C-alpha cells in the first residue's frame, strides 16, 4: 500500500465502507441477507416467467432480462464486497479491478436502456392497445434488447479502456468498496481531464437519452389516462405501469447525481451510501416491486406451484 514510484501498480486495495470490525460484521450479515434475497428473487422471477405461458408477452420478456441484469451486476459487486468485509485481504488485481468496472458499467447501462424499452412497451399498451400485438412484435423486442446490450458494450469499452491507459503512481488504495470510475480516477497521476469528459459524455448521453424516452412515454401515457372517462378505467390503465414507474424512480434517483458531475465534487461518504443503494439494494427491490404489486406474477407463481405439487 501507499505511494508507488512506477507508473504501473500490480493491484489495488479496496478500503471498503468502514474500518470498524464490529460494523464490518454487521454489514456483512446485512449484505449477505440482501444478496440471498436478490438471487432468490430474481432467479425466481425468471423461472416463473419462463414456466408460465401466460406471461410470454413483451412486458414480461423485458422483465425477464431486467431480473437477469439485476442478478448479474449484483454478482459483480456483492461477493467481492462480502469477501472484503469478512477477511483482511482487501486487494484486487489491476485486471480484476478493470474487469469489475467494465461488467458493472455494462450491466448498469444496459439496464438504463432496458427500462426505456419497458417504458415504450407500456406506452404502446396504453396509448395504442389495438395495435399493440403488431407494434411490439418479437422482432422489435429482440431489436430493443440487442440495442441495449450493444450500446452498453460500446460505452463501457470506451470508458474502461480510457481509464486503464492512465498512469497510476499516486497510490494503490481505492477509497471505495468496488472499482468505480471516480475513485479509481482519483489515483491517477496523469492528466485525466479528457477521460473525465469522455465519462461525462457517455454517462450523460446514456442517462439523458433513457430518461427522455421514459419521460416522453409517461407523458403520453398520462395524457391518455386523463382522457379516460371512467375512474375504473383510469385505475386499470395506471396499474399496468405503476410498478415500472416506481422501479424507474428508485433507480434514477440514486444514480443520476452520482455520475453527472465532475471529479472535484466527489464526496466519499455521500457517494458510498448512494452506491450501496443502487449496487446492492436495488437489485433486491426490483423483483419485490414487480411481483408484490403485480397480480399476474402472483397468480403465475401460484399456477407454477400448483403444477409442481400436482406432478408429485
**Span 184-211, pLDDT tens digits:** 888 888 888 899 899 888 888 888 899 8
Confidence of residue 6 (pLDDT cuts 50, 70, 90): very low
How far apart (Å, rounded) are the C-alpha atoms in residues 167 and 159? 15
DSSP 163-228: HHTS---S-SEESSSS--HHHHHTT--S--HHHHHHHHHHHHHHHHHHHHHHHHHHHHHHHHHHT-
How far apart (Å, rounded) are the C-alpha atoms in residues 95 and 233? 54
> pLDDT at residue 5 above 70?
no
Residue 76 · residue 103 · CB < 8 Å: yes
Domain range spanning residue 156? 11-311
> pLDDT at residue 292 above 70?
no
3 located within any domain:
no
67 located within any domain:
yes
DSSP 47-89: HHHHH-GGG-SHHHHHHHHHHHHHHHHHHHHHHHHHHHHHSS-
1 located within any domain:
no
Report the chain's mean pLDDT, rounded to a whole number.
84
4 located within any domain:
no
* Confidence (pLDDT) at 4: 42
The domain that holds 104 is classified in CATH as: 1.20.1070.10
Count of domains for the chain: 1
pLDDT digits (tens, 9 = 90+) for 113-159: 999 999 999 999 988 989 999 999 999 999 999 999 999 999 999 99
5 located within any domain:
no
**227, three cell numbers:** 382522457
Rg, Å, the chain Cα set: 21
**30, three cell numbers:** 446485512
Cα dist from 286 to 83, 177, 250, 253, whole Å? 25, 23, 9, 14
79 located within any domain:
yes
Q: Which residue has the higher pLDDT, 244 or 3?
A: 244
* Confidence (pLDDT) at 109: 93
**111, three cell numbers:** 439496464
pTM above 0.75, yes or no: yes
How far apart (Å, rounded) are the C-alpha atoms in residues 298 and 44? 12
Q: Name the nearest CA neighbour of 67 among 49, 51, 81.
A: 49
Instruction: Please state, for a pLDDT cut of 70, what percent of the chain lies above it.
Output: 87
Rounded average pLDDT over 269-281:
77
Q: Which residue has the higher pLDDT, 276 or 31?
A: 31
DSSP 100-158: HHHHHHHHHHHHHHHHHHHHHHHHHHHHSGGGHHHHS-HHHHHHHHHHHHHHHHHHHHH
Q: Which residue has the higher pLDDT, 233 or 84?
A: 84
Amino acid at each position: 500500500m501507499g505511494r508507488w514510484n512506477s507508473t504501473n501498480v500490480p493491484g489495488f486495495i479496496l478500503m471498503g465502507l468502514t474500518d470498524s470490525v464490529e460494523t464490518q460484521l454487521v454489514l456483512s450479515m446485512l449484505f449477505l441477507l440482501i444478496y440471498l434475497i436478490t438471487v432468490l428473487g430474481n432467479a425466481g422471477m425468471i423461472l416463473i416467467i419462463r414456466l408460465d405461458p401466460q406471461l410470454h408477452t413483451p412486458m414480461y420478456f423485458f422483465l425477464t432480462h431486467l431480473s437477469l441484469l439485476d442478478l448479474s451486476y449484483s454478482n459483480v459487486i456483492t461477493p467481492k464486497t462480502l469477501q472484503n468485509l469478512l477477511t483482511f485481504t482487501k486487494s484486487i488485481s489491476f485486471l480484476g479491478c478493470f474487469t469489475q468496472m467494465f461488467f458493472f458499467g455494462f450491466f448498469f447501462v444496459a439496464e438504463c436502456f432496458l427500462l426505456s424499452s419497458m417504458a415504450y412497451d407500456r406506452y404502446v399498451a396504453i396509448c395504442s392497445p389495438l395495435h399493440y400485438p403488431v407494434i411490439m412484435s418479437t422482432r422489435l423486442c429482440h431489436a430493443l434488447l440487442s440495442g441495449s446490450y450493444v450500446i452498453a458494450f460500446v460505452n463501457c469499452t470506451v470508458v474502461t479502456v480510457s481509464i486503464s491507459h492512465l498512469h497510476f503512481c499516486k497510490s494503490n488504495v481505492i477509497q471505495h468498496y468496488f472499482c468505480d470510475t471516480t475513485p479509481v480516477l482519483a489515483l491517477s497521476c496523469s492528466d485525466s481531464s479528457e477521460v473525465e469528459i469522455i465519462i461525462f459524455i457517455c454517462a450523460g448521453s446514456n442517462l439523458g437519452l433513457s430518461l427522455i424516452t421514459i419521460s416522453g412515454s409517461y407523458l403520453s401515457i398520462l395524457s391518455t389516462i386523463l382522457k379516460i372517462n371512467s375512474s375504473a378505467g383510469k385505475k386499470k390503465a395506471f396499474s399496468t405501469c405503476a410498478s415500472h414507474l416506481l422501479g424507474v424512480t428508485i433507480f434514477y434517483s440514486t444514480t443520476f447525481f452520482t455520475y453527472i458531475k465532475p471529479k472535484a465534487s466527489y464526496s466519499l461518504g455521500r457517494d458510498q451510501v448512494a452506491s450501496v443503494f443502487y449496487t446492492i439494494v436495488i437489485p433486491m427491490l426490483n423483483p419485490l416491486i414487480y411481483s408484490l404489486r403485480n397480480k399476474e406474477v402472483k397468480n403465475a407463481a401460484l399456477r407454477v406451484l400448483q403444477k409442481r405439487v400436482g406432478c408429485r
